Amino acid sequence: MNVKPINYTYFIGIDVSKNKLDIAVMAGSNFLFHREIKNQPDDILALVNELKVLPKFVMTRAVFCMEATGIYCNHLLSTLKKFQTNVVRENPLQILNSLGKIRGKHDKIDSMRIANYAYKNRHELVLKAPRRPVIDQLAYLSALRKRLVATIKALRTPLKEQQSFIKKSIQIQVTTLSIDSLKALQLDLVRVNEAIMQVMKDDDKLRHINTIITSVPNIGQITALQIVIATNELRDFNDAKKFACYAGIAPFRDESGLHKNRPRVSHIANKEIKALLHLCALGAIRCNPEIKAYFIRKTEEGKPKMSVVNAVRFKLVLRIFACLSQDRCYIKNYERPTHGITQKNLETVNDGLI
């Protein structure tokens, strides 16, 4: 993350939707005007040129704040990138929680609320580094893979569940009618997996990061892929504890006066990464003697099983980020040298997929 304590003078709040953009412009705490434009590059460029003629408007002293709404931000981000603007893409929930109790919803009002959020938090705004095109490509391929997996599951699961409850002749018929679709989807999934691996292999930086992450036992290619996308190649955040919080595996205290509950994880999380880390943790408990012994010892001490599984997930995250921060592959019983730079060990690669 790149925190810049800039004294911003202009705050532009943008409410992004598929077809249009609502823009609210503030000079300091003073609201100037609102514009509604099409979500197209030419219209965005015309707006930027309009902003440039404002009194004492300097691009480096202006901040453009928007909610992270996926691909609908692409035209806006690509146009603003040409002017090297200060762009903040904030989680919609973060902005909503900062507004207190609000009533009603309207695109114009939302853009004004976003601009006001940027002004109120001007000393704490975080400018995230723009993603390289190859990371965007991986994100789109990953989203396609997720849809294919969900579609295969939607077709396959009912076929399996209904076989004990309907006539055999009907079961054969519905299976036969859907088998070609399942085969085609599975073939597409294989091709998407191959495309993802090829993109990772063709880029030197991605190949290096992927090699380090997958060197950690029980961490596979898909988990590594999601870590790379979520952290923007470790450029947005590279701290294990912050990533654990992002993935929803960091427990938080639940206390109020004399009322004390056991610390629990938050439901606000990247559920996809959390699920992948859960599978990795189960694999480690089953196959890794060290982790297995730890799990047995803690459960015998009376710790809830899911709490121990969560601790294993956190252990894996710590190992991943320790290796990344030291630019080395995982080595069992590793001892950090007191002097000099460690020699990279890029030989051990786990080719597992999960």
Interval 224-258: pLDDT, tens? 999 999 999 988 888 899 999 989 988 877 777 77
Residues 104 and 248 occupy one common structural domain: no
Q: Is the pTM of this model over 0.85?
A: no
pLDDT, position 351: 39
Residues 214 and 312 occupy one common structural domain: yes
Domain boundary among the residues 172, 202, 232 is at: 202
What is the extent of the structural domain holding 197? 133-202
* pLDDT tier for residue 338 given thresholds of 50, 70 and 90: low
Domain boundary among the residues 186, 202, 218 is at: 202
Residues 328 and 246 occupy one common structural domain: yes
The stretch 85-100 carries a mean pLDDT of 81
Residues 72 and 189 occupy one common structural domain: no
Residues 55 and 83 occupy one common structural domain: yes
What's the CATH number where 33 sits?
3.30.420.10
* pLDDT tier for residue 130 given thresholds of 50, 70 and 90: confident
CA-angle at 98, arms to 96 and 101, nearest 5°: 70
181: tokens are: 């679709």
pLDDT, position 204: 94
Residues 120 and 186 occupy one common structural domain: no
Number of structural domains the chain divides into: 3
DSSP, res 288: -
Distance CA 276, CA 284 (A): 12
Over 80: is that where the pLDDT of 336 sits? no
Of 61-70, 113-122, 344-353, the range with the lowest mean pLDDT is 344-353
Q: Which helix (H) or strand (E) segment is 252 a member of? A: strand 251-256
Domain boundary among the residues 142, 176, 202 is at: 202
5: tokens are: 């304590």
The stretch 45-65 carries a mean pLDDT of 91
CB 64 within 8 A of CB 90: no
Residues 148 and 217 occupy one common structural domain: no
Residues 324 and 211 occupy one common structural domain: yes
Strand residue runs (E) in 93-174: 126-127
From the list 320, 294, 289, 324, the residue with the least C-alpha distance to 309 is: 294
Task: Output the furthest CA–CA distance in the chain (Å, rounded).
Answer: 78
pLDDT cut 90: percent of the chain above it:
51
In sequence order, the 6+-apart residues with CB closer than 8 A to the CB of 250 are 241, 244, 265, 266, 314
Interval 288-335: pLDDT, tens? 999 999 999 999 999 999 999 999 999 999 999 999 999 999 988 767
DSSP, res 210: H
Residues 146 and 210 occupy one common structural domain: no
> Mutual orientation of helices 221-231 and 133-162 as an angle, nearest 10°?
130
pLDDT, position 5: 53
Q: Which helix (H) or strand (E) segment is 16 a member of? A: strand 10-16
Average pLDDT, the chain: 86
Q: How many residues would you count in the chain? A: 354
Residues 145 and 123 occupy one common structural domain: no
Interval 155-205: pLDDT, tens? 998 888 888 888 888 888 888 988 999 999 999 999 999 999 999 999 999
Q: Which helix (H) or strand (E) segment is 12 a member of? A: strand 10-16
Over 50: is that where the pLDDT of 216 sits? yes
Residues 214 and 338 occupy one common structural domain: yes
Distance CA 348, CA 346 (A): 6
pLDDT, position 218: 92
Residues 197 and 140 occupy one common structural domain: yes
